[in-house]
Amino acid sequence: MSQFSHFNEQGRAKMVDISDKSSTVRTAVAASSVRMIKEVFHKIQKREIGKGDVLSVAQVAGIMAAKQTSTIIPMCHPLALKGVDISFDWKEDGNTYILNIQVQVKTKGSTGVEMEALTSASVCALTVYDMCKAIDKGMIIGPTYLVEKTGGKNGDFHRASDI
């Protein structure tokens, strides 16, 4: 089992030892989305959601989630993040609206930040759902995916196109 880096000699999960890896600048960009009815879109835009400014709260939740990823994803290393940037844009699709979420996470360290970016994007979407569910329980979250990552021994990854 030793060829699998996340398993020990007994075939049990372990946190990978990254102490010999070089410290380099590493970035990751992840995306997610929330599909909603027109009424929710308008209430978010007009800041008429009873729980507060949805995008501001989702942005703070996403930043907090990126910083806490290692506490909820068992094999993730705790990282000193150097930056988290979250942006939103809207797309109309027939009678529904799609909130697109993009998160960029950056660090200088021995392991990548893909999980931090993905966790952040997921929590942003979940926060939007939580804040708006009284109006529309039928909102759809996702897909959530890695757009790109840079740095590290495995090299860069760039998704050919958005999903």
SS3 at position 156: coil
| H helices present in the chain, as ranges | 38-45, 54-67, 69-72, 114-132
Residues 61-93 pLDDT 10s:
999 999 999 999 999 999 999 999 999 999 999
Detail the residues annotated as belonging to a binding site. 75-77, 115-116
63 vs 10 pLDDT, higher one: 63
- Amino acid (1-letter code) at residue 44: I
Please confirm, yes or no, whether 130 is among the known catalytic residues.
yes
Give the CA radius of gyration of the chain.
18
Q: Residue ranges for the binding site for substrate?
A: 75-77, 115-116
Active-site residue, from 85, 130, 136, 156: 130
- Cβ contacts of residue 62 below 8 Å, gap of 6+? 84, 86, 101, 103, 120, 121, 123, 124, 127
pLDDT tens digit string along 90-147?
999 999 999 999 999 999 988 889 999 999 999 999 999 999 999 999 999 999 999 9
